[in-house]
């Protein structure tokens, strides 16, 4: 089974980090003892630009969970359609070819789900299998690839589609000026990504294009519920973001990777590239330190963070797109794709080019 393609899509409104900081400072400075703190925190997020669903001046009117969630549904369907069409075009297949859809998001909810709404827009089969995933947060991009790969392993003549849409600007909380919320508002961006996974007996896989998915590994860290996630409140999603996130990464990632590779008769010396979720400067630094990587080893992840921010589940998929289009591995070489997120947990995917 192979990763056939990635397609990304971003909202039309793109702002520099200082412009976003100034807009939020104007909204919140009367609620903060030290408004300049917001500007300093934003400057340290490693983000130069981000996309937002709406112009910045429209956000104060989104003052209830109902308004923000309704906006999320409409925008998620629109962006999701764009990302899917691009991924299908890159793979040179049509919606009718897809046997299963996996949809991941943690920034909004709907029933029927976004994937169902997209079936009414695009000519997917009425028998396509659907698996909506909510709550995995940043790890869901890698976990979604794993679950889609599980599907085509069972049905090798089929294609699976993973879609992630994350509209993080719709979770900004006007009544929360905690450090966690300020960092979250300075780090996360809006965007969508779709990935096509081709079963080993599909025409695409038989052309030996795209990296093979060799193995996957999920690891759950017990009793870490308050490291990352959401508290669901009257106004929507309130961030849970512990300063211990980099510590948890640094303490666990090396053992996870080495154990995973050993079970596949490999070592870290066999890995040519690491395709990592752009979690933020401290998270990327913790990943580099844990694995003893040189400073440029995660350059595409740092680039994605600078250009679009942390896209939650879609982030690692955007980084994967960069590897497929700009930095593909040499034939026969190995890569690790990885993300970490709420629970706390990690997801590793072993690829061979």
Can you tell me the distance from the alpha carbon of 27 to that of 29, in angstroms, rounded to the nearest whole number?
6
Query: Phi, psi (5° rounding) for residue 134?
Result: -125, 140
Rg of the chain taking only CA atoms, in angstroms: 19
Active site residues: 138
CB atoms within 10 A of CB 167: 29
Residue 268 near residue 229 (C-beta atoms within 8 A): no
Backbone φ and ψ for 221, nearest 5 degrees, come out as -100, 115
Candidates 83, 128, 137, 132; CA nearest to 106 is 137
User: How far is residue 318 from each of residues 288, 303, 321, 325, measured CA to CA in Å?
Assistant: 19, 10, 5, 11
d(CA 48, CA 70): 28
């Amino acid at each position: 089974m192979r990763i056939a393609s990635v397609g990304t899509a971003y909202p039309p409104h793109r702002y520099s980090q200082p412009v976003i900081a100034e807009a939020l400072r104007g909204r919140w400075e009367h609620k903060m003892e030290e408004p300049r703190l917001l500007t300093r925190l934003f400057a340290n997020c490693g983000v130069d630009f981000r996309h937002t669903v709406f112009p910045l001046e429209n956000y104060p009117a989104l003052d209830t969970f109902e308004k923000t969630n309704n906006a999320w549904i409409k925008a998620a369907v629109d962006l999701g359609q764009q990302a899917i069409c691009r991924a299908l075009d890159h793979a040179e297949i049509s919606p009718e070819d897809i046997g299963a859809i996996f949809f991941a998001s943690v920034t909004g909810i709907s029933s029927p789900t976004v994937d169902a709404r997209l079936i009414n827009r695009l000519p997917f089969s009425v028998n396509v299998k659907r698996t909506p995933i909510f709550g995995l947060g940043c790890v869901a991009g890698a976990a979604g690839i794993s679950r889609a790969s599980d599907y085509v392993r069972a049905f090798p003549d089929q294609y699976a589609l993973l879609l992630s849409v994350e509209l993080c600007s719709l979770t900004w909380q006007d009544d929360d000026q905690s450090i966690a919320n300020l960092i979250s508002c300075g780090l996360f961006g809006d965007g969508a990504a779709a990935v096509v996974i081709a079963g080993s007996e599909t025409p695409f896989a038989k052309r030996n294009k795209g990296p093979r998915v060799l193995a996957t590994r999920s690891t759950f860290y017990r009793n870490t519920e308050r490291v990352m996630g959401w508290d669901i409140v009257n106004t929507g999603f309130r961030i849970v973001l512990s300063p211990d996130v980099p510590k948890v990464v640094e303490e666990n990632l090396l053992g996870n990777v080495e154990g995973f590779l050993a079970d596949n008769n490999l070592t870290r010396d066999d890995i040519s590239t690491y395709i990592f979720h752009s979690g933020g400067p401290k998270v990327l630094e913790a990943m580099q330190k844990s694995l003893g990587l040189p400073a440029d080893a995660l350059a595409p992840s740092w680039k994605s963070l600078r250009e679009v921010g942390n896209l939650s589940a879609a982030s690692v998929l955007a980084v994967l797109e960069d590897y497929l289009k700009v930095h593909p591995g040499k034939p026969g070489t190995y890569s690790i794709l990885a993300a970490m997120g709420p629970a706390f947990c990690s997801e590793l995917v072993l690829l061979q080019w």
